[in-house]
Structure 1
């Protein structure tokens, strides 16, 4: 059995560390060996902190893949493509590696991140480091429950992990990340019914609005996409992050097919024939965007 990296299908922890890194030319062999040992590093820190729910994954971008893993690459692994329509823009930002660590304990996450970065040394530089946290039991900073439709239980690996359709990369997962900055002052100035129309759910009880009153520009109306009668799914590990001056949502999507996320993002950013786009983008904007592939533990360990 091909085992996925531990962060992918686990339930999202209360705290997370998200690292995007760039490779230093000439350090590829050293970095490759360190990545091969990352699953064992996760297990060692989990044992040290007596925290079995500490999990981690590392993913590799399209441009770094041949430098670290060889010429054969996962189907669909391409650089993140920016999107723009009007004043809505989803940028692409430089990143070769993505490290995702989460657990119920910030101290354990921090220790694992420090250990990895100490091992990498001058082989990779940090493009961005974000520390996420669970807010009010799973709500975004907008006050709405986040990830209501996320797959659960046995559905999680079915949605997230590559299968026989790309057999050489079975047990891996395509990863898309974006950091969204919320305009919370503007958002919090809206009446709750108006917020609910923008999201498409009730704020207090998290019930989906009836189609008769849910605007076609509502967030969930844009990102819920059906093909051949089936709803397309991604496995999200998004968490709020921030300081008193800058805050939002760190969005992480795992999937067996990267096209699913791209279709959702396109529906958010690009207006349809009737001029409808995701109205949430009037109050929140992505400032980063990158795509990666998280190989299975077995493939990763083949240094």
Structure 2
């Protein structure tokens, strides 16, 4: 039986550690051993620190997939492609590997992250480490509830995981780190903020269609195809303190084209001249894509 990596479909924890790394020349064998050890290592540390909800996922990028795994790439795995339209830019930034760890405790997350980095040793270089947290019960730093329509329960696996074939139980994952301009955002009157999002701030109710602007965030990213809404499983969390602050956006999906369509609808101006107005107040500064194979696949790399 194929088993998915534990972080992919688990409900998002209160705290997370996100790591992106580059593989060093000749480091593939070290990476392979560390990746194979991660599922067991996660269980061991969960027992050691007394945190049963500690979970993890390890993603591998297109450029190093074959050299690290020795297998053909999953169909659809490609490097993140940058997008730009006027002042809105969704950049592509260097990253070969992605590590996602979350639980109700940041100390448990860091114990696992440090031990994994020890195993990775000289095989990889750390590009970025972001520690994120749940804010006000699940709100973004803009004050709005984040991920209201995120799939729940068994639907998470249906949305996130490849159903069959050699890469069954795996998931395509895309990430972007957003930096918010909270000073400009907080200067907006409440009705304008709600128009940017498409939902009410206090009680998270969707605005009526005759009130919701076509530039509202949810108007841009809620896409229906053949009567079905396209979905991703989000593990996004705020990060930062009194200085730079924003959202670390993570989307898992069985089909990478779904996230891409959402991003294009946000960044690119449509034929009526509309784009996602939320991007006037926040900007992505990173962008990378990976495939998180099943835990069964990872452990088979040993």
Per the normalisation by structure 1, the TM-score is 0.99
Using the TM superposition, give the Cα deviation of residue 70 of structure 1 relative to its aligned residue in structure 2, in angstroms. Answer: 2.0
SS in 1 for 2:166: helix
Superposition pairs of residues 82-231 of structure 1, within 5 angstroms: 82-164=82-164, 167-231=165-229
Q: Give per-residue Cα distances to partners, 1:47-101, cap 9 Å, x unaligned.
A: 0011110000000000010110124111100000000001100000000000000
Give the Cα separation in 1 of the matches to 2:147 and 2:212.
Answer: 18
| Structure 1 moving runs of 4+ over 4 Å | none
**Matching of residues 257-268 of structure 1 within 5 Å:** 257-268=255-266
Structure 1 residues 244-283: aligned runs within 5 Å = 244-283=242-281
Aligned residue-pair number: 301
1:45 CA displacement: 0.7
Corresponding residue SS for 1:168: coil
Deviation at 1:234, TM superposition (A): 0.2
Partners of 2:145 and 2:253 in 1: CA distance: 21
Q: CA RMSD in A?
A: 0.6
Q: Is the 8 A contact 2:214 2:274 kept in 1?
A: yes
- Deviation, 1:188, is 0.5
Task: Report the Cα distance in structure 2 between the residues aligned to 1:19 and 1:191, rounded to whole angstroms.
Answer: 36
Quote the offset at 1:243 in angstroms: 2.6
Q: Deviations over 1:185-239 (max 9, x none)?
A: 1000111111000000000000000000000000000000011111000000000
Once residues 30 and 187 of structure 1 are traced to their aligned partners in structure 2, the CA distance between those partners, rounded to angstroms, is 45
Q: Distance in 2 between matches of 1:30 and 1:220?
A: 42
CA–CA separation in structure 2 for the residues paired with 1:94 and 1:30:
20
What secondary structure sits across from 1:100 in the alignment?
Answer: strand
**More moved, 62-71 vs 189-198:** 62-71
Q: How far apart are the structure 1 equivalents of 2:241 and 2:23?
A: 28
Unaligned runs of 5+ in 2: none
Q: Does 1:242 find its partner at 2:255? A: no
Mapped partners of 2:284, 2:278: distance in 1: 11
Tell me how far apart the structure 2 counterparts of residues 69 and 34 of structure 1 sit (CA, whole Å).
12
1: CA distance, partners of 2:53 / 2:42: 10
SS, match of residue 77 in structure 1: coil
Aligned partner of 1:11 in structure 2 is: 11
In structure 1, C-alpha distance between the alignment counterparts of 2:272 and 2:298, rounded to whole Å: 46
Aligned equivalents of 2:107, 2:72: Cα separation in 1: 37
For 1:50-89, what aligned pairs fall within 5 Å after superposition? 50-89=50-89
C-alpha separation between the residues in 2 aligned to 1:101 and 1:68? Answer: 21
State how far apart, in whole Å, the 2-side matches of 1:116 and 1:104 are. Answer: 19
Counterpart Cα distance in 2 of 1:138 and 1:243: 16
